Amino acid sequence: MKSLRRSWSENWEDLRPITEKAMSGETVYHEDFPLETTRHGQAETAYFTFCYSPIRDENASA
């Protein structure tokens, strides 16, 4: 499985803060988050919804 950083390499700097919050145990939700991407050889703005929430263990630790 590829890491999130590798999967979203072209947008990593935009996604890093969202990922860091999620990895620290915070629930994160962004709707219609604009990202510049390349599809079929053309640059375009695409809109994504990101929703991350921690999975806690029996001690409520993320």
Q: CA-CA distance, 62 to 11, in Å (whole number)?
A: 25
Host domain of residue 16: 4-52
Q: How confident is the model at residue 54 (pLDDT cuts 50, 70, 90)?
A: confident
Tens of pLDDT, residue by residue over 1-52, are: 578 889 889 999 999 999 999 888 899 999 999 999 988 999 999 999 999 9
**What was the pLDDT predicted at 21?**
92
Query: How many other CB atoms are there within 10 angstroms of residue 23's CB atom?
Result: 13
- Tell me the pTM: 0.72
Is residue 61 situated within a structural domain?
no
Contact in structure between 18 and 28 (CB atoms under 8 Å) = yes
Is residue 59 situated within a structural domain?
no
Q: CA-CA distance, 56 to 32, in Å (whole number)?
A: 27
Is residue 39 situated within a structural domain?
yes
Total domains in the chain come to: 1
Is residue 58 situated within a structural domain?
no
